[in-house]
Chain A
C-alpha cells in the first residue's frame, strides 16, 4: 500500500554549530522497536518541532536526548561531547554519570506533567538546581530566580506550593526552573498536553517569547498552529523514523509528504 518515499529536504541554512547530533539512534523495548535509526542535527538557534502520531516515538526520542531513556544503539553528541555508553548484554548503559549530569545541567527539560517538586515552594523549585547542581551563589541565584519567575509572570506566586497552582501556572514555573540553569538547549515534552484548553495559551506565549529571542529549542507537541508559526523546522516522525522534515512553510502548504498531510488533516479534524 505504502509506496511513497519519505521526503527529506535539508533544513533551513544550518550555518551554526550543531548543539545536539544523533546518528542512527534506536530504542527498543523487548520486541517493540520504538526508534529505528534517527539522524538529527539541532543547530544553535533552531526551534525544532517534533510532530507525529502517538506511538511514533517522538517523546522517547526527546527523552533520549538527555538520557532519561537510554538508546539501544546509535550515537548521541550533546554540546560537542560524545555521550559515552558501555555495552551490557544487549543494552547500552551510561558509562560516565558525571558527564551526563554535566550535560543535563545545560539542557533544560520541560515535562508534560510539569513535575515540580511538591515539597518545595515555587521559588525553592527554581533555586534548587542552580545552587545544588551548579554550585552557584545563593544570593545571585535568588535574584536570577526572581527574574525568571517575573518573565513567566509567576513572581507573585513565589511562596506558593505547586499544589496551589493551576496547571498553566505550574508549567510556567517549570519553564522558569529550566531557564535559571542558563541552558544551551531547551527540550519540551508535550508541554501543553496536560493543560485545560484555556490554559494552553499562557504557556505557548512564554515559549513563543523564548523562540523569538533565539533560544535553541526542541519541542514535542500536538499544537499544530504553534509548530507552524513558531518553529524554524518541523521533524515528522512515523513509526520511529524521520518521515519528513523541512521548514513549516514547505510542509504545511501540503503536497510534500502525503503521510504528513494526512496527519495534519486528521489532527485538524479532531480539534
Chain B
C-alpha cells in the first residue's frame, strides 16, 4: 500500500467535494421547484396541460442524462438565436449547463414522486376536511401537503442520492468535481484502481450524509413516526 500516494490523492479529490455538493444542492432545489410545477400541471383540469406534463416527464426520463448534458452544452451553442439571447452568459459556461441539465433531469423524476405522494393522501381524510369547510389553498396547506410529505419524503431522499451520483457526469463537460479530478489524476498517474476507489468512498460517505439528513428531516417533520 502506497499510503502517501493515497493520502495525497484523497486530499486532491476532496477539493472537488464543494463543487459536487453545489451541483447537487442547487439542482435539488431548482429541480424541486420545477417538479412541483410539473406535478401541478399533471393534475390540471385542462387536458393539453396534463399532456404537456407527461411529455416533459417522458422526455427527461426517457433519454440519458449524458445526452441531455451534451445537448445543452454543445447543442445549444449551435443555435444563433440562443447565442444572442440573455441566456447565453449561462449557456456558455459548463457550470450552468450542468446545473440546468441536472435540474431538468431530476425535476422529471421529482414530479413523479410528488404526483404519487399527492395521490397517496387518503381520499377520505380530504373529504373530512372538505366536510368541515376547507377547500382550495387552506385544504392543501393544512391537510394535503403535510400528508403528501409523509409519503414522498423517503422517495425524494432517494432521488437526492441518485442526483448526487449523477453529478459525476458533469465531469465530461470539463467540470472539476470529484470525478473530474479523479479523471485528471488518472491521466497523470495511470493508477485508476486506487483513485476511483477513493472517489467511490467519497461518494459513499456523501450518500450517508444525505441519508442522515433525510432521517433528521423525517423525525422533525413527521413526529408520528417516532412513536
Residues of A within 8 A of B (CB): 66, 68, 97, 100-102, 104-105, 107, 109, 111, 113, 115-119, 128-129, 132-134, 161, 163-164, 174, 177, 181
Are the C-beta atoms of B224 and A111 separated by less than 8 Å? no
CB atoms of A132 and B142 under 8 A apart: yes
Contacts A119-B224, A133-B133 supplied; 6 other A-B pairs, CB < 8 Å: A97-B136, A101-B133, A118-B122, A129-B133, A129-B134, A161-B227
Any A CB within 8 A of the CB of B79: no
User: Which residue from chain B places its CB closest to the CB of A107 in the assembled complex?
Assistant: B131
CB neighbours (8 Å) of A161 from chain B are: 224, 227
Q: Which 10 pairs from chain A and chain B are nearest by CB?
A: A105-B133, A115-B128, A129-B132, A109-B131, A101-B133, A104-B133, A133-B133, A115-B124, A161-B224, A119-B146
A105 CB contacts on chain B under 8 angstroms = 132-133
Q: A132 vs B130: C-alpha distance in the bound complex, in angstroms?
A: 12
Check B128 against A111 for contact (C-beta < 8 Å): yes
A100 CB contacts on chain B under 8 angstroms: 135
With both beta carbons as reference points, the residue of chain B lying nearest to A97 in the complex is identified as B135
Which of B127, B129, B132 has the most CB atoms of chain A within a 10 A radius of its CB? Answer: B132
- Given known A-B contacts A118-B122, A119-B222, A133 and B150 have beta carbons under 8 A apart: no
Residues of B contacting A102 with CB < 8 Å? Answer: 133
Of the candidates B128, B138, B224, B227, the one whose C-beta lies within 8 Å of that of A116 is B128
Chain A nearest CB, measured from B42 CB (Å):
23
Q: How far is the CB of A198 from chain B (nearest CB, A)?
A: 24
> Looking across the interface, which residue of chain A has its beta carbon closest to that of B124?
A115
Asked whether, in the complex, the Cβ of B129 is within 8 Å of the Cβ of A117, the reply is: yes
Question: Quick check: A101 and B127 within 8 Å, CB to CB?
Answer: no
- Are A133 and B147 in contact, CB atoms less than 8 angstroms apart? no
A-B contact pairs, 13 of them (CB 8 A): A68-B131, A97-B136, A100-B135, A104-B130, A105-B132, A115-B127, A117-B128, A117-B129, A118-B224, A128-B132, A129-B132, A177-B132, A181-B132
Tell whether A109 pairs with B128 under 8 Å between CB atoms, given A118-B224, A133-B133, A161-B224.
yes
B125 interfacial by beta-carbon distance below 8 Å: yes
Asked whether A101 and B147 contact (CB < 8 A) given A109-B128, A115-B128, A117-B129, the answer is no
Question: Majority SS of interface residues in chain B?
Answer: helix
CA distance A134 to B122 in the complex (A): 24
Count A-B pairs with CB separation below 8 Å.
68
Interface on B for A, CB 8 Å cutoff?
Answer: 122, 124-125, 127-136, 138, 142-143, 146-147, 150, 222, 224, 227
Q: Is the CB of B125 within 8 A of A118?
A: yes
Q: A104-B132, A161-B227 are in contact. Are A111 and B222 (CB under 8 A)?
A: no
Identity of the chain A residue whose Cβ is nearest the Cβ of B143 in the assembled complex: A117
Give the contacting residue for B127; candidates A68, A97, A128, A177; CB below 8 A: A68
Q: CA A163 – CA B224 in complex, angstroms?
A: 9
Give Cα A111–Cα B122 distance, bound, in whole angstroms: 14
Assess whether A111 is in contact with B127, with CB atoms less than 8 Å apart.
Answer: yes
Which of A101, A107, A119, A177 contacts B150, CB < 8 Å?
A119
Nearest chain-A residue to B136 (Cβ)? A97
Which of chain A's residues have a CB closer than 8 A to the CB of B147? 117-119
| Measured CA separation A170–B48 after assembly (Å) | 43
B222 touches A133 (CB 8 A): no
Name the distance in Å between A124's Cβ and chain B's nearest Cβ: 10
Q: Inside 8 A of B127's CB, which chain A residues have their CB?
A: 68, 111, 115
Asked if residues A132 and B134 are in contact (CB atoms below 8 Å), the reply is yes
Residues of A within 8 A of B134 (CB): 101, 129, 132-133
CB-CB < 8 A to A129: which residues of B? 129, 132-134
Report the Cα distance A163→B129, complex, angstroms.
Answer: 18
CA–CA, A116 and B131, complex, Å? 12
Nearest B residue to A134 via CB reads: B133
Residues in B neighbouring A68, C-beta threshold 8 A? 127, 130-131
| A132 cross-chain contacts in B, Cβ below 8 A | 134, 138, 142
What's the minimum C-beta distance from A247 to chain B, rounded to whole angstroms? 29
Question: Which residues does chain A contribute within 8 Å of B132, judged by CB atoms?
Answer: 104-105, 109, 128-129, 133, 177, 181
- In angstroms, Cα B227 to Cα A96, docked, is 42
A133 touching B138, Cβ below 8 Å: yes
Set of chain B residues within 8 Å of A118, measured between Cβ atoms:
122, 125, 147, 224
Verify B131–A104 contact, CB threshold 8 A. yes
Q: Which interface residue of A97, A132, A177 has the most chain B CB atoms within 10 A?
A: A132
Chain B residue with Cβ nearest A98? B135
